Amino acid sequence: MSLLSKTVGEVVRDWAKALPEQGAYVYPEHGIRRTYEEFDRETDELAKAFIGMGIQRGEHIAIWSDNKPQWLLSQFATGKMGAVLVTVNTNYQANELEYLLKQSDATTLILDEGFKGTCYIDIIRSICPELMDSKGGVVTTEKLPKLKRVILMSNREESGIYKWSEFLAHAEGITDEELTEREKSLSPDDVINIQYTSGTTGFPKGVMLTHNNIVNNAKIIGDFMKLTEKDRLCIPVPFFHCFGAVLSNLAAVTHGSTMVILEQFDALRVLEAVQDEKCTALNGVPTMFIAELNHPDFKKFDTSTLRTGIMAGSTCPIEVMKQVIHDMGADEITICYGQTEASPVITQTQTDDPIEKRVSTVGKPHPFVEVKIIDPLTGDEMPVGSPGELCTRGYHVMKGYYNNAEATREAIDEDGWLRTGDIAVMDEDGYIDITGRIKDVIIRGGENIYPREVEEFLYKHPGISDVQIVGVPDPKYGEELMAWIIPKKGAAIDEEAVRSFCQGNISYHKIPRYIKFIDEYPMTASGKIQKFKLREMSIAESLSHQM
């Protein structure tokens, strides 16, 4: 095995030549089906439209929508003409969008009309009121001096904003030769994506990723899943996140597989897509798999075509993993661990790993990836079996944070090691277990408690659908544990039942002092649980108990 030296655009073009009639993508909700030859042609036209608008290699294009076809095509079209795609969280509101557009120096914004009741057009107009007086899609605004143009993913008439058809018309003046010349000017080492960290903690930072970063990461991810052109990957995870753009779209395309895409996650639609499209692979964060498994109609659907997939994005509960293998039939499901700064995958389980390793670890480091576990205070490497901070080095490490040299220096040391901030333990076979974030460790009376351990135990309770453990301040012990539990539908469960389940099974100091039942967790748009918000809620809750 060796690393590829290809651009994102070349990956599409290669499959269009090798298997032109192979299915590239399907949108089952809209009846859209495209072969790799058609996909290649569509992305060529879009690349020409970008060039026709005057967008240069290295210019930043922000894109703001759910998993629309225009998003997918823009991802690979920018890969052909060299603009940098800046991904925008679908949940963003005015302040967050303004920050991202300003911080990223985006010259172009592509946006959908809205998302889940939020009108994106109203938001961009509130930030750039000058749009109302602009001609075409050309923008001049003091607040965002770099922003030049706004493009809508539909043909709705909006003053100052290009309709999608108007945008596409810019391709007409660009020849195949001009597109080829632009492609030849690109290097696999060029930055092609700026992915903003999801902001579960702190302010989002723009992670600069190159063609080499994401093409190779995606290729290895798919290799670990044993993807081929015969596979059909169901993608309900958001494109703006690495899980959608790299682990899903690009992993499929680097293997000539078919993408079966849902614009937004809905458990019922996922089950329908898996059955009707005969998907062999399914990606999702644990909360998505939990929703699918617990759907009242789950047993009515035939998921027997499933073979593999990825569960990632947050800690994967062992009990849920077992259900996915046994009840869904995805007996070659893999777990990935990583972060945006690492393109994103660092470790992954393999389809033929022993079952106990596949349900209790995040696998071994990828090929061409170095990993070490250090004492976060001294920097000394930790012995096998001892927890410490996971650090990684290799082709996959980001180029840096955009316009943030200080944060880049804090994240990557002089020798190229990226500090993840995650606590990990490596066993004697080289498998890694992630026990939590450094800042998530709960210290109760001098004892270090890792939330993951307590969560995994509580998942075994038959009445618990999901559980999150956070630490709250305590005047006596320094910190105490609080459990936020989503009960299974119809389950008769209360605080006393949870504590009784713990007693005699886990150490007394690990039994949550506070237990709260909840219908859903505060989430990022990519499906990550926002523990910092749970922690804020927990502090307020514990204070009311202490009064």
Check residues 494 and 198 and name the one with the higher pLDDT. Answer: 494
On whether the CB atoms of residues 107 and 117 are closer than 8 A, the answer is no
- The pLDDT assigned to 545 comes to 63
In the predicted model, what is the mean pLDDT of the chain? 93
List, by residue range, all CATH 3.40.50.980 domains of the chain: 37-196
Residue whose structure tokens are 């061409």? 368
Comparing 91-100, 111-120, 179-188, 492-501, the range with the smallest average pLDDT is 91-100
Evaluate if residue 546 carries a pLDDT over 60: no
Evaluate if residue 142 carries a pLDDT over 90: no
- The pLDDT assigned to 120 comes to 96
Q: What is the pTM of this model?
A: 0.85
Q: Where residue 314 falls among pLDDT bands split at 50, 70, 90?
A: low
Evaluate if residue 246 carries a pLDDT over 70: yes
Strand, coil or helix: 92? coil
List, by residue range, all CATH 3.30.300.30 domains of the chain: 441-546
Range ranked top by mean pLDDT from 95-99, 333-337, 472-476: 333-337
- The pLDDT assigned to 201 comes to 44
Q: Where residue 450 falls among pLDDT bands split at 50, 70, 90?
A: confident
pLDDT tens figures, 265-310: 999 999 999 999 999 999 998 889 989 999 999 999 999 999 999 9
| Helical (H) or strand (E) element with 212 | helix 211-225
What the block records as the tokens of 250 is 């690009």
Q: Where residue 316 falls among pLDDT bands split at 50, 70, 90?
A: confident
Average pLDDT for 482-495: 94
Evaluate if residue 408 carries a pLDDT over 70: yes
Q: Where residue 531 falls among pLDDT bands split at 50, 70, 90?
A: confident
On whether the CB atoms of residues 459 and 427 are closer than 8 A, the answer is no
- The pLDDT assigned to 200 comes to 43
On whether the CB atoms of residues 334 and 310 are closer than 8 A, the answer is yes
In percent, the amount of the chain with pLDDT more than 90 equals: 76
Strand 232-235 and strand 258-261: pairing? parallel
What the block records as the tokens of 373 is 């576990």
CATH architecture of 37-196: 3-Layer(aba) Sandwich (3.40)
CA distances from 349 to 68, 82, 403, 445 (A): 30, 33, 35, 36
Evaluate if residue 349 carries a pLDDT over 60: yes
- The backbone torsions φ and ψ at residue 483, rounded to the nearest 5 degrees and listed phi first, read -105, 125
Comparing 34-43, 220-229, 318-327, 535-544, the range with the smallest average pLDDT is 535-544
Average pLDDT for 148-164: 95
Q: Where residue 128 falls among pLDDT bands split at 50, 70, 90?
A: very high
The count of residues in the chain is 547
Of the candidates 115, 114, 108, the one whose C-alpha atom is nearest the C-alpha of residue 78 is 108
* Extended beta strands in 331-427, E state: 334-338, 345-348, 364-365, 369-374, 388-394, 400-401, 418-426
Check residues 526 and 112 and name the one with the higher pLDDT. Answer: 112
Angle formed at CA 292 by CA 289 and CA 297, multiple of 5 degrees: 165
Average pLDDT for 70-74: 98
Of the candidates 441, 445, 453, 372, the one whose C-alpha atom is nearest the C-alpha of residue 413 is 372
Strand 32-35 and strand 108-111: pairing? unpaired
Average pLDDT for 99-110: 96
Average pLDDT for 361-386: 96
* Extended beta strands in 299-360, E state: 308-311, 334-338, 345-348
The superfamily (CATH) of domain 441-546 is ANL, C-terminal domain (3.30.300.30)
Check residues 207 and 1 and name the one with the higher pLDDT. Answer: 207
Comparing 4-18, 103-117, 374-388, 447-461, the range with the smallest average pLDDT is 447-461
Check residues 358 and 420 and name the one with the higher pLDDT. Answer: 420
What the block records as the tokens of 252 is 């499929």
516: burial class by Cβ within 10 Å (0-12, 13-18, 19+)?
middle
- The pLDDT assigned to 2 comes to 93
Evaluate if residue 248 carries a pLDDT over 70: yes
- The pLDDT assigned to 133 comes to 85
Evaluate if residue 111 carries a pLDDT over 50: yes
Range ranked top by mean pLDDT from 221-235, 441-455, 471-485: 221-235
CA distances from 87 to 78, 95, 482 (A): 12, 16, 34
Evaluate if residue 544 carries a pLDDT over 70: no
